[in-house]
Amino acid sequence: MARQTGIIKLKGTIGDISFYKSADGHLARYKGGVDGKRIASDPAFQRTRENGSEFGRAGKGGKVFRNAIRVLLQNAKDKRVVSRLTKTLVAITKTDAVHERGLRTIEGGDMSTLLGFEFNVNGKLGATLYAPFAVAYDRVTGDVTLDLDPFAPTLRIAAPGGTTHYKIVMGGAELDFPNEASVF
């Protein structure tokens, strides 16, 4: 992948070269690939269509997930949370043993793969809070609880110098991936 390092930053396409800006800076790449019509109809691209279908469901599922907890994510996400969450949801989709390839779903997969997912790799909970805790949820009542034993914040919280207060915020969401709905 070519990088633009000059003072003139380009966006768009010139000939067969596309210029764009990403989190990694201004980049350029050669335009190419297989024609979309061929991918949609050629039997040789059946696996590509299956993968694309599952990736699409994972992308939509990630949006449902992020929208459900948007209030919590506003100050606790990094620039790559969308791609990392989609990658994890694709991995969950691949664990679906009920549906055949190309039709596998997130809800049919092993959701425990999400345990420990960090929405901000630059501010991980485990690198800030050094107190043991347990989270539990009751699907019937919809209750989510956090059990946190009493602790000394000066010893158990890695905070910037001069910090006088802390707040622990949590939430729970019920996700309905097929209908793209959620309850927070």
**Residues 40-94: pLDDT tens digits?**
999 999 999 999 999 999 999 999 999 999 998 888 888 899 999 999 999 999 9
**Residues 12-38: pLDDT tens digits?**
888 888 888 887 788 888 877 888 899
User: Given phi > 0 = left and psi -120 to 50 = alpha, else beta, which region is 101?
Assistant: beta
Q: Which residue has the higher pLDDT, 136 or 32?
A: 136
Q: Please state the φ and ψ torsions of residue 54, each to the nearest 5 degrees.
A: -70, -40
Residues in contact with 134: Cβ distance below 8 Å, sequence separation at least 6, in sequence order: 146, 147
Neighbours of 134 (CB within 10 A): 9
| The pLDDT value given to residue 12 | 81
| The pLDDT value given to residue 11 | 80
Instruction: Supply the pTM of this predicted model.
Output: 0.79
- How high is the mean pLDDT of the chain? 89
Alpha helices by DSSP H, listed for the chain, are 36-41, 46-68, 70-73, 81-94, 153-156
